[in-house]
Amino acid sequence: MPQTMKLALLDDYQKVALRMADWDRLRKRGIEISVFHEPFKSVDDAAAKLAPFDILGLLRERTAFPKALIDRLPNLKFMVLTGARAASLDDKAAAARGIPVSTTPGGGSNAPTAELGWALLMMCARDLGKAERLARTGKWHDGIEQMVVLEGKRLGILGLGKLGSRAARYGKAFGMDVVAWSQNLTPEKAAEGGARYVTKDELLATSDFVSIHLALSDRTRGLIQAADLAKMKKTAILVNTSRGPIVDEAALIAALKNRTILHAGLDVYDKEPLPADHPLTKLDNVTLIPHLGYVVEDSYRHFYGGAVQDIEAWLDGKPINVLNPDALKK
């Protein structure tokens, strides 16, 4: 391996990457480190700015890496992805060029994402985002119309995996009736996860809160369409902390505008970061937060510490945690 290489750490919006791991271990091996704090404006912008780099450090799915971008990076030799997978990364295109992509699996507890999801649900129930803004302007209770109590309400969970099961436990602790559905869920598995199995239609039609905990895939992309939103109660609240494209964004905006549902709480979007002029930002019955599910120090230290280890292993000619092993055959 060459002794001098250039590493770019991408999408460090909070400017914390360099203090979350011992990057001096790489600097001592001749690695020059640059950090990008702002999202790229386009594929052309990313291609121009990243062309000089040999190694790229990706923070989850913040920047998409399609074949069209990978093929325009002439010096690229290795990529490290924080997390275990990224639907926005074309690892096969990287493999075709002999570029391994290593990951940082594990990460400990999924509590940060689960807790964030529950906090968002509670914010929506009492419209705390609006309440906080009113308190700052001295309006006190003026304008507070949404006053929903959790106890005795039905929580419908779409996806009863590790995160969905945590949400079920939280719901039970708050005295809620918890039901669940996903494509592969059975009544037995639902019971094990702390919920009662119902059909998708029943869940949507009878739940006071619908919380999404599904991975984005071909099966779940666009799972919630206009017809699904129309089945929900007019007093229902939808919370999505999974991935934006699981819900048809245009249909959700229309449902909120028309008051088809009461409120939505979103941590994820079709396009991230969410543009300031996006239609969602103009609505008063949606609570928006900037994809904070995994954004805690413990997760960052795991991600970036793992990235250092992955790069060291690759420099030693013994790459680990390789997502696209075909790249090693080139």
Active site residues: 243, 272, 291
Locate 205 and state its tokens: 């039609």
Strands laid side by side in the 237-240 sheet: 196-197, 177-181, 154-158, 209-212, 237-240, 263-266, 286-288
* SS3 state at 17: helix
Locate 8 and state its tokens: 């770019």
Supply the DSSP string of 116-183, one letter for each residue.
Answer: HHHHHHHHHHHTHHHHHHHHHTT-TTTT-------TT-EEEEE--SHHHHHHHHHHHHTT-EEEEE-T
Per the CB < 8 A criterion, the answer to whether 160 and 185 are in contact is yes
How far apart (Å, rounded) are the C-alpha atoms in residues 229 and 6? Answer: 48
